[in-house]
Chains A and B, each alone.
Chain A
Amino acid sequence: MTQPAIKVEGLWKEYVVGRAQQAHGTFYDLLANTMKAPFQRLRNLGGKTDEVDRFWALQDINFEIQPGEVVGVVGSNGAGKSTLLKILSRITSPTKGRVEVRGRLASLLEVGIGFHPELTGRENIFLNATILGMRREEIAQKFDEIVEFSGVEHFLDTPVKRYSSGMYVRLAFSVSAFVEADILLIDEVLAVGDRDFQKKCLGMMGDVARGGKSVLFVSHNLTALRNICSKGLLLNNGHLNHVGNIDDVIHKYSSSRTESSELSIHLIEDSTSRIARVVRVEIIPQNMDSGKSIYISSPFRIDVLIEVQDSESDVGVYLHCHDSEQNRVFSTGSFFNPILCGMNLKKGFHKLQCNVPGHLLNDGQYSLDVILLKDRHEILVSESSLIGFYVHDESLGVEGWNWRANGVIRPRLEWTTEYIAQPLAIPSI
């Protein structure tokens, strides 16, 4: 049997948060605490322990990755995904446990690490690639490919501070895409650039995945994960909940998010862009009885509260709705309304509302992806399965019919009847 590329055994990572860290924040405090330490220790002997806020970011993680396996890491914000990648790439050290890595490892936790605004595109390619662990000859060898992929040939000798944000990001990604390594750790690198470039990046990542490298891929983009990865790890509050086939892992993840039956979600961190961010997403049933549940007949409203941070930008909300089998049921954008299309939103908070009529969805679990777009094509924020909701079945009140009407949607269609006196008058087909 071949040796695993990555082997993780009993991995724990603890962060000290709040008081303890503040207490050692300044040199003066350190001196003061050192003076107090003997007394504190005496007190601790008496059974009193100093209170320290500790937080386990990862708890007892065990898994192996074989050479050539492409593994997606799934979990909600704060589940420990980034911490795991940071430990595997040796940026931070584990509190307990062992990590064995066989082969050359490159971590792509961010694009364009070390890019210096004053340096030219050419200089930054060498700088960034060296930081990612490539040798000089390797960079020289791949240089033309990197430049071609990025599409910034004409600006190679221009300082990158004069690049447009799109060019900058394309160049940054391109270096990452050509990194030479046996094992790649990738964190959300894909959430950059306009949609065309994202597509190109995804294709590139697919090629990398098929190229025999071991890849560990953290992303909120479930579609990308499903396309690229074969295996998945599901992290939840620092625990490894499930290891297995990527489809199973995604299914478990989506249902765990919708089961929480929360109808509103607040975003505090993540999902930030300099231009706009999603603050809150709410699903509000519009029943007559104003209950909390959504029935097949209930119209409901999707409220997306966004904060526009750039003074005047054409920001729009785009939604994908998936059922529990991950079929896309519908997609809709605020700019589908001609009045909202091309409208510049001023700086501040805006609530964008989407009215979904009753008698549209069948009963079951649904989840929404929320995407913020600038000028209808540049992705600012993309959050998959951000919020889930359940559509409850309700009795049709039809005597003698006790079954569910199958299908992805359950529209209320009109039925009529007409008496026909002479059937022969109808031309037969």
Chain B
Amino acid sequence: MLDWRELWAYRELLWVLTTRDIRVRYKQTVLGASWAILRPFLTMVIFSVVFGQLAKMPSDGLPYPIFVYAGLLPWTFFAAAISSSGGSLVGSSHLVSKVYFPRLIIPLSSVGSGLVDLMISTGILLLMMVYYGVGWSLNLLAAPLLLLFVLFTALGVGTLLSALTVAYRDFTHVTPFLVQIWMYITPVIFPVSLVPEKWQWLLYLNPMTGLVEAFRSAFLGKPFDLTGIGTSFAIAMALFIVGVAYFEKVERRFADII
């Protein structure tokens, strides 16, 4: 299975590739790194107008902007991570066919490069909490755990998609579509409570549901729904194991078929 020791030996490469992606992302843009602030913020504004004001979407008694923004945090990270890691191996074919290193480094660095944006948008959330007078609660202490949770979820799906894309280029079309559909089955713009109670468990089979809900609980002080979050977490872990195992299985053939 996975050779953790080798992966550890290549940690510098992981670091260098991750920072490369981050550095390159905003090169030669006028607004530079402020895009990392603007993008989630503008999305939040648009969603608040369309779904909060016009569609009158319920938001568990919280102001809609902060409700939707707390959900957008893990969702945006996840969506960006799986889109970029999905095509990451194919995009790095010149590396894969010319030099050896554990291939897992490539999707890992794609996922990792989104972390900076996640940190920046979390900072904005903390400011919004002050603005809307949503008190900082002890629930915030769960935030580091949630970070691990969202990382593993993105890594599992990301590695799986990246390996599948090498063998079947169909996945370059599947991935964007998947991201779109996935958003509708994740309670980002709507609360879980919108779904009849007896069907809510179905929603939690999607690991992103547990994550989004857990983020709202941690930042907005709602009580944690441990059964729901636990279910999502178990499924995320299973996805991670399947993703990495499949990746390792086909890794040896990458250079020949890429």
A residues in contact (CB < 8 Å) with B: 15, 21, 24-28, 30, 86, 89-93, 107, 109-110, 113-114, 116, 118-119, 123, 126-127, 130-133, 135-136, 159
Contact = CB atoms under 8 A, between A and B. Distances in A.
A21 B168 CA distance: 11
Contact of A86 (B95, B101, B255): B255
29 contacts: A15-B256, A24-B167, A25-B168, A26-B170, A28-B170, A30-B168, A89-B100, A90-B100, A91-B96, A91-B100, A93-B253, A107-B98, A107-B99, A110-B94, A110-B98, A113-B94, A113-B99, A114-B94, A114-B95, A118-B27, A118-B28, A119-B23, A123-B23, A127-B16, A130-B12, A130-B13, A130-B16, A131-B13, A133-B101
Contacts of A127: 16-17, 20
Contacts of A90: 100
Closest 9 pairs (CB-CB, A-B): A27-B168, A90-B100, A92-B255, A27-B170, A130-B16, A118-B27, A93-B252, A91-B255, A109-B98
B254 to A, nearest CB: 8
B56 to A, nearest CB: 42
Contact of B97 (A21, A27, A91, A93): A91
Given A86-B97, A123-B23, 5 more contacts: A89-B99, A113-B98, A116-B20, A131-B95, A135-B12
Which interface residue of A25, A91, A110, A118 has the most chain B CB atoms within 10 A?
A91
A44 B28 CA distance: 59
Given A92-B255, A130-B16, A131-B13, A116 B98 contact: no
A109 B98 CA distance: 6
A37 B33 CA distance: 52
Contacts of A15: 256
Interface of B: 12-13, 16-17, 20, 23-24, 27-28, 94-101, 164, 167-171, 252-253, 255-257
A28 B174 CA distance: 12
Nearest to A136: B12
A118 B24 contact: yes
Nearest to A107: B99
A120 B218 CA distance: 41
A109 B99 contact: yes
Contacts of A114: 94-95, 99
A24 B255 CA distance: 16
Contacts of B252: 92-93
Nearest to B101: A131
A150 B105 CA distance: 29
A132 B100 CA distance: 8
Nearest to A110: B98
Contacts of B97: 86, 91
